[in-house]
Structure 1
Amino acid sequence: MVTMFETRSEKAFVTTITIILILLSAVALIPLLSVIATSLSSKSAVDMNLVTLWPKQFTLDSWGYIVDRPDLWRSFALTLVTTVVGTLLALLLTALLAYPLSKSKNEFRWGAVLMIGVVIAMIFKAPIVPYFLTVREIGLYDNPLVLIVPHLLNPFNLIIMRTFFKQFSKELEEAAFLEGCGYFRMLFQFVLPLSKAVLATLALFYGVVLWNQFQHPLLFLQNPDWFPLQIKIRQFITDDNVIMSGAVSTADLNYNERTLRATTVLFAIIPIIAVYPFLQKYFVKGAMIGSVKG
């Protein structure tokens, strides 16, 4: 009887949580559906506030205008390159530091000291003015490398990867060392190929930060040719003259500032949404293992 009671309680709990999650998902999807509907609706329907969650007077004119903007594609290409290159370099640097930190004190005596520094860097963020002056002094002001270099190492991601590396069998490493395998070869030929889960998880973490970065380009970039996608979107959203600058005539257009802004927002988030399904199978596993294994 107790078992049946517990089973019913568990079923009720799971059902309740499922319903809550479905409702929260629906609430989270409503703004996205509204933006999609606006981007696919006509100018008159949007002006009359007829668009809610479904397109009215369906048209692709806004998308046609946006995809023909060379300045937007230039910002898109710059953001794509910085995201891919930055993510790969960040994973490499994180792995090179996390692997020795995962070793015992006998193998790497300075590991505990360095971990204290990592934790301090994670808890206490650098003040904005000294940070700005430091970045400027090392030559990254108005330099596209500022979109990559400051994001190459994240203390939280480093701790996740270090904790993940601690699960590897000591016997496997000792056997490899007896065969003449060094630490670098051990890392690149044995450890990293078996770490796809945590690598995919951290790739998503780093990639989202690099793709969505806004503060760094706003602070350090002055040349419009180096503006990443998020800064370009900000220009489109806040300045009607920028977003409509490519329109030949406004009289017979089937789009307006609102439909173009909605289209631009979707243009920016579609790549991340497209990549996520390929990393999803590794995401939960990598995050959980890297967080709870000791």
Structure 2
Amino acid sequence: MFESRGEKAFVAGITALLLLLSFIALVPLLSVLSISFSSKGAVVQNLVSIWPKQFTLDSWRYIIERPDLWKSFFLTLGSTVIGTVLALLITALLAYPLSKKEFRWGSVVMIGVVIAMIFKAPIIPYFLTVRGIGLYNNPLVLIVPHILNPFNLIIMRSFFKEFPKELEEAAFLEGSGYFRMLFQFVLPLSKAVLATLALFYAVVIWNQFQTPLLFLQNVDWFPLQMKIRQFITDDNTILPGAASMVDFNFNERTLRSATVIFAIIPIIAVYPFLQKYFVKGAMIGSVKG
């Protein structure tokens, strides 16, 4: 398609602006990454900007050799995987009947879903409710409060409403019930919305901070974000002995930077594999309510 000179200039200007904004957004991340690979002397002298100075891996060796960090990492990884799978399952089981006109109470349920999405639960009733069902100081609190999100439910319901009715009718003629229809036909053909919502749920569970802060007192159950907070606020946790600062080429700042990067690597690594589904799933889910 032929583009005029003005259109080309507009596209070039927008592209340049987006590149500039992307670089600005990346500067803090690049700065933290550079500090994690820099020597303590360069960091103390404020020589590090977005490129490492006096490159060293000492900070990374130190945090990778810490068993408490790995324990928090695998606890967070396990809760993210299990929580995301359960969340997708429960969301699908609720969204599928809500997408059907045959479900009489669907409109009533959807009003409740919209209310739950707009009006968040006050913190004190939320705390008392979660504690009342036995999740206080229980690692299951990392999963259970996140297994259903109203916004994600609406996206999946909208996606299911666009599912070809002819395919469903053919499956019903062959004797399929609703459960078989959902698990054997609908979900295998819903990779776009499943990948999109999997990313939504996984990011929330992986990065959760308020929930474990409210409900977990046992440090053995601290997820990765709580462990990072412990590292940042307590020098005795990240550097147990003063001799460590003398014997190795790192300090509290380089270690904290390495820990922060360590925590975001998994999400950054997974996103490229889901990106092709992400835009499609989000767009389809936003077309109709």
| TM bin (shorter chain) | over 0.9
Match of 2:59 among 37, 58, 62: 62
Cα deviation for residue 172 of structure 1 reads: 1.4
Does residue 37 of the first structure (1) align with residue 34 of the second (2)?
A: yes
3-state SS of paired residue (1:270): helix
Match of 2:94 among 91, 97, 110: 97
Matched letter for residue 19 of structure 2: I
Please list, as runs of the form range in 1=range in 2, the aligned pairs for 1:1-294 lying within 5 A after superposition.
7-104=4-101, 107-245=102-240, 249-293=244-288
1:175-205 per-position Cα deviation (integer Å, ceiling 9, x unaligned)? 1111100000000111001100000000000
Matched letter for residue 25 of structure 1: S
**d(CA) in 2 for partners of 1:289 and 1:41?**
45
**d(CA) in 2 for partners of 1:266 and 1:158?**
31
Cα deviation for residue 48 of structure 1 reads: 0.9
**d(CA) in 1 for partners of 2:241 and 2:283?**
48
**d(CA) in 1 for partners of 2:123 and 2:238?**
31
Cα deviation for residue 59 of structure 1 reads: 0.4
Contact 1:69 1:246 (C-alpha < 8 Å) held by counterparts: no
How many pairs does the alignment contain?
A: 289
**d(CA) in 2 for partners of 1:187 and 1:170?**
13
Question: Identical aligned pairs, as a percentage?
Answer: 80
Cα deviation for residue 11 of structure 1 reads: 2.1
Unaligned runs of 5+ in 1: none
Matched letter for residue 260 of structure 1: L
Cα deviation for residue 9 of structure 1 reads: 3.3
3-state SS of paired residue (1:251): helix
Cα deviation for residue 232 of structure 1 reads: 0.3
Unaligned runs of 5+ in 2: none
1:218-249 per-position Cα deviation (integer Å, ceiling 9, x unaligned)? 00001110000000000111111111026753
1:23-43 per-position Cα deviation (integer Å, ceiling 9, x unaligned)? 000001111111111000111
**d(CA) in 2 for partners of 1:144 and 1:199?**
26
**d(CA) in 1 for partners of 2:28 and 2:19?**
15
**d(CA) in 2 for partners of 1:166 and 1:260?**
49
**d(CA) in 2 for partners of 1:94 and 1:247?**
50
**d(CA) in 2 for partners of 1:180 and 1:247?**
72
Cα deviation for residue 13 of structure 1 reads: 2.4
Going from structure 1 to structure 2, the CA distance change for 1:116 and 1:41 (only over 3 Å counts) comes to: same
1:259-290 per-position Cα deviation (integer Å, ceiling 9, x unaligned)? 00100000000000000011011000000011
User: What is the TM-score with the length of structure 2 in the denominator?
Assistant: 0.97
**d(CA) in 2 for partners of 1:72 and 1:197?**
34
**d(CA) in 2 for partners of 1:75 and 1:275?**
19
3-state SS of paired residue (1:249): helix
